[in-house]
Amino acid sequence: MIYELKSTSPQMEIDLRGRLTFSDYSVFREISDYLNQFSPKSCLLDLKELEFIDSAGLGMLLIVRDKVTAKNGHVVLKNSQGQVKKMLTLGNFESLFTIE
């Protein structure tokens, strides 16, 4: 997974690219650290260039949600497509996130 952070307080946008799998957890911890540091009120995850996600990757999205909502913020998942969109649907993520 490759990511790019764009932060304009109190909002953070994170573009995810490639694959989000169990093997990406160490890289994902960097994102988690940024969330702890900046405590955004709004976090937009752009999944347009995310090609694949497994169950561990879905769990990482839930970690983002937990960190942001713990500070009374909200998370939006944007531009999911293909296999990623199918996994979000199968996981019933529309009940946990705002999906655009």
Domain definitions of the chain by residue range:
2-99
- pLDDT tens for each residue of 27-73: 999 999 888 888 889 999 999 999 999 999 999 999 999 999 999 99
Is 2-99 a domain of CATH 3.30.750.24?
yes
Prediction pTM value: 0.92
- pLDDT tens for each residue of 49-58: 999 999 999 9
Question: What are the DSSP calls for the chain, one per residue?
Answer: -EEEEEEETTEEEEEEEEEE-GGGHHHHHHHHHHHHHH--SEEEEEEEEEEEE-HHHHHHHHHHHHHHHTTT-EEEEE---HHHHHHHHHTTGGGTSEE-
